Every structure is written in structure tokens, then in C-alpha cells.
Amino acid sequence: MGTFTEKILAVLQDGAETTVDLLDITLTPKGKAFYRKVYRSSLYGPKRFKSDWAEWYRKRQSFYSLLNQLKREGLVEKKGFRKKTVWHITPNGQEKLRTGGSKPERRPAGILMRVYPKKQSAGIVIVAFDIPEKMRKKRDWLRENLIALDLRLLQKSVWIGNTRIPQDFITDLRAQNILPFVHIFSIDKQGSLRQVRSTY
């Protein structure tokens, strides 16, 4: 049905279109053109404007509602005053663009999950871990991330794949206090095995 404002704009536009059509007919000299306009107006009604005022208002309101929602989420900010107001994207908004709009989510275990960038490794990556039972939730969190990084289970607590282990992931392992229980290895094309820790 539309808002009250949209209804008012629709009524005003109908009145304006009718007025413009009547003026056009009135100012046309009597003749074929005059009677042709009278006939068309009586048959089809007044000519419609190219723009729909109510639709324009609806889109404008939708646009500003979206901007305000983005502002509440901390993705954009408004700077300036009145006519000199300019919208800017915030660092949080830039980060969301960089990650493709992926939102961090919190699993039932209560451990923050996030999307890590996936880049192919030049060699084979092996991740082995032996996390104590009392850290089972963190162990489950680790498994979910290894699956997300396209690693596959080779045998119990040993995972293998061709995805580089992101530095942010290693940082998060340290933040979860499980890095000492996790061993990451890389095997290059020559078959050399090396352990990965803070750098890759």
C-alpha cells in the first residue's frame, strides 16, 4: 500500500499530470491537433511523467535507510555538515570488502571463527597435533579450521593438503594457547621437510 507520504506524492503527481495535460490542450489552437489531444486524454487519461514521484521517494528512503544501517554496523561514517555532508567507508568497512563480506561467527563452543585466506602452497603441508582432552573444544575448533583450509585427514590428528597456513591462523593458535601442541610441516618439491612456526 505504501506509506502515507508515498500516497500523498502519488495524489500530487496525478493532479500535476492532469493540470499539465489540460494546459497543453487549452494552449493548443483549435484544429486537428486540438481534437486529437482531447480524444487521447478522454480515452487514456493525462500523459504520465517519466518519473514516478512516489517510487523516487521510496528508493530515496530505502537508500538512506541502508546507509544508516551500515553506519550502525560501523561500516560507513558521515562527515561534514548539511549540504557538505560526505559518506566515507570506515576501516571496518574496508576489512569487510577485503574479506568478501564474510562475517565472523561464534560457534557453540564459544570460540571465534573467521575466514582465512586460502593460497596454494608450493609443496605439501602437514599439520599434526596432540591437544589435551581438557582442551577438547579448542581441538574441535582446530579441526573445523583445517577442514575450511581444504586440508584432509591422513590419520588420527594428522592432516595434509596443499594450502598455505595463513600467518593469522598461526597467530590465533598462539592466542588460544594451543600452538605448543600443534606442529606444522612443509615438504617442498625436492622432498625437503621443514617445520613452520611464525613464518612460512
For residue 130, the domain's CATH number is: 3.30.70.240
Shared domain check, 116 and 192: yes
Residue 120 domain-assigned (yes or no): yes
Question: Does residue 192 lie in a domain region?
Answer: yes
Q: Kindly state whether residues 120 and 192 are assigned to the same domain.
A: yes
The predicted pLDDT at position 111 comes to 66
In a domain, 119, yes or no: yes
179, part of any domain: yes
> CA-to-CA distance for 85 and 79, rounded, in angstroms?
6
| Strand pairing class (76-79; 86-89) | antiparallel
pLDDT grade for 13, boundaries at 50, 70 and 90 = confident
The predicted pLDDT at position 82 comes to 66
- The confidence score (pLDDT) of residue 193 equals 62
User: In 3-state terms, what secondary structure has residue 30?
Assistant: coil
Same domain, 121 and 190: yes
On whether residue 13 sits in a domain, the answer given is yes
Residue 182 confidence (pLDDT): 93
Residue 96 lies in a domain: no
Predicted confidence at residue 32, as pLDDT, reads 81
In terms of residue numbers, what domain contains 155?
112-196
pLDDT tens-digit profile of 133-166?
999 889 988 998 999 899 999 888 899 999 999 8
C-alpha of 78 from chain center: 19
User: CB neighbours (10 Å) of residue 48?
Assistant: 12
Kindly indicate the confidence band of residue 200, based on its pLDDT and cuts at 50, 70 and 90.
very low
| 118 and 187 together in one domain | yes
Given a cut of 50, whether residue 198 has pLDDT beyond it is no
Whether residue 173 lies inside any domain: the answer is yes
Question: For the chain, how many structural domains are there in total?
Answer: 2
Q: What does the alpha-carbon distance between residue 69 and residue 84 come to, in Å, rounded to a whole number? A: 21
Query: Of residues 119 and 55, which shows the higher confidence score?
Result: 119
The reported pTM is 0.45
CA-wise closest residue to 95 among 69, 80, 114, 112: 114
Q: Give a yes or no: residue 51 inside a domain.
A: yes
